[in-house]
């Protein structure tokens, strides 16, 4: 499994709640390998409060004395930072986005360590030197830093999606189904006193709405049945007699 190739590493955890949240986020997206480097708090004991149903991930996490130890079995080490460079000369913090990282990672079979830094200061330059490259989440300049578990959620979601560990999307109705919905709605309107040009507009609007909302096959089928019943009822409705 692709998830077995990734180890999430948290350096210098200062707040035990974040340890639990990180375990929880990792399990949300199917990742269970977690390691802590020199935590400043008893992460396993106190982090259980926020770990919830990911307590197994937290309890099985490794505790390492150095980053070198934590990433020793990884073929690729990926650092994270919110301190994005303002100059191309800052090669140490030159970064890729989570989506770019996920796209490349999903094409490999190598083991990877994804390293998150301290809540207050992140990863040091010395620690980034141990990383093969850096990933960063583009955020608004007014508030660029994210909580470690929030950052992990964004990155792990992209990895899970790219590796098909989670469903990419719900099923969408086929073009033929959507055309039937529009056709049945048009047939209903044909049974009314709606002018032809307004019927054409209504059909166009319905087609646009169906496209934008990515209607599911079940939803399309239900609408087809609804319009067919309406059409039948309109066909059986007694016609008004003209005034004499």
In this predicted structure, the answer to whether residue 32 has a pLDDT above a threshold of 70 is: yes
Residues of the chain above pLDDT 90, percent: 70
For residue 239, what pLDDT is reported? 59
pLDDT computed for residue 90 by the predictor: 60
Find the mean pLDDT for residues 169-192.
89
pLDDT digits (tens, 9 = 90+) for 197-233: 998 999 999 999 988 888 899 999 999 999 999 988 8
- With a pLDDT cut of 70, the percent of the chain lying above it is 91
- Res. 87: pLDDT tops 60: no
Note the pLDDT of residue 132: 93
Which H or E run includes 181? helix 175-190
Residue 154 has pLDDT above 70, yes or no: yes
**Closest listed residue to residue 152, CA positions, set 14, 25, 17, 10:** 25
Residue 244 has pLDDT above 50, yes or no: no
Between 166 and 129, name the one with better pLDDT.
129
pLDDT in the model for residue 141: 86
Confidence bin at 17 (pLDDT 50/70/90): very high
Picking from 198, 201, 219, 197, the residue whose alpha carbon sits closest to that of residue 210 is 219
What are the structural domain ranges in the chain? 2-162, 175-236
Rg, C-alpha atoms of the chain: 27
How many helices and strands in the chain, by DSSP H and E? Answer: 11, 7
CA neighbours within 13 Å on the CB side: how many for 15?
Answer: 12
Identify the band that residue 86 occupies on the pLDDT scale cut at 50, 70 and 90: low
Which residues are CB-contacts of 79 (< 8 A; sequence separation ≥ 6)? 115, 117, 123, 127, 128, 130, 131, 133, 134, 135
- pLDDT at residue number 156: 97
On whether the pTM is more than 0.85, the answer is no
Q: What does the pLDDT read at residue 19?
A: 98
Q: Give 237's pLDDT tier (boundaries 50, 70, 90).
A: low
Say what the pLDDT of residue 25 is: 97
Strand residue runs (E) in 39-146: 62-64, 76-80, 95-96, 112-116, 133-135
When the candidates are 3.40.1280.10, 3.40.50.1860, 3.50.30.40, 3.40.50.11030, the CATH number that belongs to 2-162 is 3.40.1280.10
């Amino acid at each position: 499994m692709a998830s077995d190739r990734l180890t999430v590493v948290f350096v210098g955890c200062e707040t035990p709640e974040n340890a639990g949240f990180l375990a929880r986020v990792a399990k949300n997206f199917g990742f269970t390998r977690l390691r802590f480097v020199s935590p400043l708090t008893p992460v396993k004991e106190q982090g259980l409060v926020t770990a919830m149903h990911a307590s197994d991930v937290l309890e099985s996490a490794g505790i390492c004395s150095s980053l070198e130890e934590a990433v020793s079995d990884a073929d690729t080490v990926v650092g994270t930072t919110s301190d994005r460079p303002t100059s191309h000369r800052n090669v140490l913090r030159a970064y890729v986005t989570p989506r770019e990282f996920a796209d490349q990672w999903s094409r490999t079979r190598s083991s990877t360590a994804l390293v998150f830094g301290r809540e207050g200061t992140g990863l040091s330059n010395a620690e980034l030197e141990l990383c093969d490259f850096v990933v960063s989440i583009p955020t608004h300049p007014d508030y660029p830093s994210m909580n470690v578990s929030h950052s992990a959620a964004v990155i792990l979601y992209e990895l899970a999606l790219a590796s098909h560990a989670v469903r990419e999307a719900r099923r969408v109705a086929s073009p033929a189904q959507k055309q039937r919905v529009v056709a049945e709605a048009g047939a209903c309107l044909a049974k009314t006193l709606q002018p032809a040009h307004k019927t054409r507009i209504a059909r166009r609007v319905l087609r646009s709405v169906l496209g934008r909302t990515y209607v599911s096959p079940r939803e399309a089928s239900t609408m087809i049945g609804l319009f067919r019943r309406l059409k039948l009822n309109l066909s059986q409705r007694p016609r008004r007699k003209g005034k004499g």
